[in-house]
């Protein structure tokens, strides 16, 4: 993961890879919402967390630490060193670069396809009377449901706030690191599965404001609004 390449201490590096699980916007909700019904249950969140932990626990010892980072580096090198001679030749480097480009193109095509599906789903949600068109009343109802700060768009794209994702991402890293430090309850610069699951459960409970065991789109939106409000308040305090 990209966070492993930040210039941080070795102990901090061991924890940064796990932050994606706790970031509200970092992991697409569709990956957590197993059945795609728009609501994330506790079981779906736990399944997503288990898969994420297994992926990050490269050596399978039940901990996420610097040893896993070293194992991932070794795996990456081994994939590039195709003939296994301990060195990466120009030909191997070119071959790996070509494969990366191919994967990126495939990824872009998949994203475009999913974007098309999301636009269709968005349109279907807005067209509540199934007339094949969206009236002003339907648009106003959608805006009201999403809250004053949201913008409902028939094309499925984000409103103006979507353009500020980059700036939000800059602030998110520090918050996520704080989450991970809290998850590492014994301060040994490593995360056990128990610590990971406890932090995930705590995160789920904070989002599940009505305590019914599932996180709705409205609850996710409320959590994002609350986070934005806290960030705005902190920026104001720093400016004083």
- At 101 the pLDDT is 93
State residue 3's pLDDT score. Answer: 38
Mean pLDDT of 201-225: 89
Q: How far apart are CA 92 and CA 82, in angstroms?
A: 7
pLDDT confidence band for 178 (50 / 70 / 90): low
For residue 205, give every residue at least 6 positions away whose Cβ sits within 8 Å of its Cβ, in sequence order, or none. Answer: 211
Q: What is the pLDDT of residues 94-150, one digit of tens each?
A: 999 999 999 999 989 998 998 888 889 889 889 999 998 999 998 888 888 765 444
Among the listed ranges 6-20, 61-75, 180-194, which one has the minimum average pLDDT value?
6-20
Task: Specify which of 22-36, 96-110, 185-199, 222-236 reaches the highest per-range mean pLDDT.
Answer: 96-110
Predicted confidence at residue 177, as pLDDT, reads: 56
Alpha-carbon separation of residue 144 from 13, 137, 215 (angstroms): 42, 10, 19
More confident residue, 91 or 32: 91
Task: Output 62 or 152, whichever has higher pLDDT.
Answer: 62
Q: Which pLDDT score is estimated for 211? A: 92
pLDDT of residue 2: 39
What is the reported pLDDT for 147? Answer: 58
Q: Is the pLDDT reported for residue 30 higher than 60?
A: no
Instruction: Name the average pLDDT for the chain.
Output: 76
Q: Using alpha carbons, select from 40, 73, 20 the residue that is nearest to residue 191.
A: 20
Instruction: Single out the residue of 68, 74, 40 nearest to residue 55, CA to CA.
Output: 68
């Amino acid at each position: 993961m990209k966070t492993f390449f930040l210039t941080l201490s070795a102990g901090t590096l061991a924890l940064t890879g796990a932050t994606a699980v706790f970031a509200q916007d970092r992991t697409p909700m569709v990956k957590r919402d197993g059945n795609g019904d728009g609501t994330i249950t506790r079981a779906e969140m736990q399944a997503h967390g288990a898969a994420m932990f297994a992926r990050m626990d490269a050596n399978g010892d039940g901990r996420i630490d610097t040893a896993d980072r070293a194992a991932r580096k070794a795996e990456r090198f081994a994939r590039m060193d195709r003939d296994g001679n301990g060195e990466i030749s120009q030909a191997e480097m070119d071959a790996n670069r070509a494969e990366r480009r191919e994967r990126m193109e495939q990824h872009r095509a998949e994203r475009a396809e999913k974007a098309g599906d999301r636009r269709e789903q968005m349109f279907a949600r807005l067209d509540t009377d199934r007339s094949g068109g969206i009236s002003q009343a339907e648009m106003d109802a959608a805006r009201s449901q999403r809250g004053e700060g949201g913008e409902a768009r028939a094309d499925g794209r984000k409103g103006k706030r979507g353009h500020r994702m980059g700036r939000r991402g800059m602030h998110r890293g520090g918050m996520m690191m704080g989450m991970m430090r809290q998850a590492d309850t014994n301060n040994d610069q490593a995360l056990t599965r128990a610590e990971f699951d406890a932090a995930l459960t705590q995160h789920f409970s904070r989002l599940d404001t009505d305590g019914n065991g599932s996180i709705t789109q409205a609850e996710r939106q409320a959590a994002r609004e609350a986070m934005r409000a806290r960030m705005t308040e902190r920026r104001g305090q720093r400016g004083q």
